[in-house]
Structure 1
Amino acid sequence: MRGLLFMVFNNLLQGFLLYMISKEERIINKFGSQMFLCDFAAHMERCPEGPNCVGPGGTSFTPSRLYPFELWTTRTFVRDSLVSLFPERKADILKDVDPGEYGVESYWLRLVCCFLFVLGLWHDLAGSWDMLDLLWYVPTQSELWIVPLAPKEEEEAAQPMPTMLLSDIAAHEAIEMDFVQFRVAGMPLHWKLFNLMCLLFPTKMYLWLLTVDIGIVFLMETSEIEDMIINCVALGFILQIDELMMGIMPPECGKILESMKGYAKENRPPIHVPEDEEIIQHQQARSWHIWTPNLWLALVPRRLVAMVAVASFFVAKYYVEHCVMESDWSLVSKPLRLPRESNLPWISFLFGPIPILFPIDAEDEPVWQMPDSSSP
């Protein structure tokens, strides 16, 4: 029960942090009139003739006119304020007061940070797969998970230990735990279904999916180089909260988990391969050459391919969800519409990976949209 309590508390903490990041990106930034970054200034070295050379202000990018959003909005506010104060000199103000443009400082670093972010979270997904694999292979029957040690192991465990600093009860429990072994054993079907439907899928795996989805949006909306690197590292902290929770668990719980014996692969049902088939497989292995597909399948690391595929999918999802393509192949932000309320609905947050199910209610009239033409 105590372990379940810690798990619920951990999920609430992780979910709350993800909710706040999602609220920042989907609600608060919009009230700050921040359009989606998309590919503004993505390949500035090709400007002014190439794609993505026109910023959200409608002018062409140059290295000296590229600013982060906060600085760009401040400079734009100063220019617009001067126009409001001196409307008769609007032409001179627009000519002499240049707010610059808002765009990404490094397109390739942003993609690399997205990949590194997925790489840092991959061990959590692998842990979910190991848990699913374990639920599949352990016997579907009730078995003892606390068993006495063998006589030889009891002698090794009975070594003298310093107990003068412990209370009598704590010392008795510490000594008693040294003569038993905790192991992963079989579990009835209803407990397997409980672990599968209540722990693995709705919490561990879906939290991972939410973290990747929200984290990729967060990184794709980061324009400055140093912030990209810092945010990439900081986002991985969210899925490490469970390890911090383990550190505050009672000592006896930690000792049980550390000494627990896993379900060995040797206990799984063996797969028998006929001898003649083994000979055929051996001959096929010896006949590999540079054009053999199986050779390249063996050389290419599958996990690396899977990580690249996951990162590419969520980056592509970001572009489809937030950006539109111009006639010159530029990827620019969709028109910015203010949300009708300042809070992010929980149902919209939970279905963030599938936003078409519960979209955020927004105003009909946009407060910003991409200018039709640019001025050099």
Structure 2
Amino acid sequence: NKYGDKRRTEIIQGTFDIEDEDLIPEEDVIISMTTNGYVKRMPVDTYKAQNRGGKGVKGMATNNDDVVKDIINMSTHDDLLVFTNFGKVYRMKGYNIPEFGRTAKGLPIVNLLNMDKNENVKTMISIHRDEVSEKCFLFFVTKNGIVKRTKITEFENIRTSGKIAISLRDDDELVDVKLTNGESEILLAASNGKAIRFDENDVREMGRTASGVRGMNVDGAHIVGVTTSLEGSKVLVVTEYGYGKISPADEYRLAHRGGKGVKTLNVTSKNGDLVAIKAVEGNEDLMIMTSEGIVIRLPMEQVKEAGRATQGVRLIRVNDGSVVSSISVVDKTDESEETAQTNEIEESQG
């Protein structure tokens, strides 16, 4: 009676939804995947910066017949587009990838996606939710040098069973997919050490199920990677035996699609075939992973800047029978060299 007044809140019958994304903190992570389809998520600071030429630390346990092929730096709230050998695409959030320790093998990605029998993941690309617009394109590149450009809006609504992303021709497979803005320059690199640079508008806009047009005459080799002018002003290349270098992007003359390209690296028996190409600014950290699952992280300043026709410097020592399987460019950390060397010694001692 003394404190009685009308209730200030209203009690109603109703429901509300809390999305998983609202409960998960946004953080930068590393997504890694093997050729047998084992995938996992790790914090981006899992690996400490080291000097070039080091042996690295164990990054991922693999079976004898399995090698690590993809390392992606993204946010837990970014979308991950997963492209397969069937030319299909699947979409999932970064946090949907389970988190594992540094040396864990991970989880088969077939447990996360509704994939068909004999369907294997070939490449993945992260999409930030604010990047989707009518001026954004996905640029597809296949092993035999076929390219295609499709608006990203055609990949917004993807069912759990996936969608056709590109119609592949016989004996061809998807190598990589890049985001472009309609005004980008494309740089394709082949295993024979040659590269070609052309304007993305040389490739007309096509539908989601189109097969594409010739982007580079690989001349018996195969495409190992693609990069765009949006990603950096310098070009980083790495060979299968752990050699690499950085060259200015301006050294690659602007040509038309379909040519054989110019020499981007002097391929020899010492450094091996070209296996990766990335556009960088030169102030990042470089992560290199070998087919044994060994990872090294080193400052980009330690990668030599040289002309197109040189063979580069050794970035990581690979063991006999092992080759570089993938590379990733991540933001620089302030970890001390002493801490990095201590971690390396601890890992080598088991």
Specify the TM-score bucket, using the shorter chain as the normaliser: under 0.3
Q: Give the structure-2-normalised TM-score.
A: 0.21
Q: Give the structure-1-normalised TM-score.
A: 0.20
Higher relative contact order (CA 8 A, sep 6+): 1
Higher strand share: 2
Higher helix share: 1
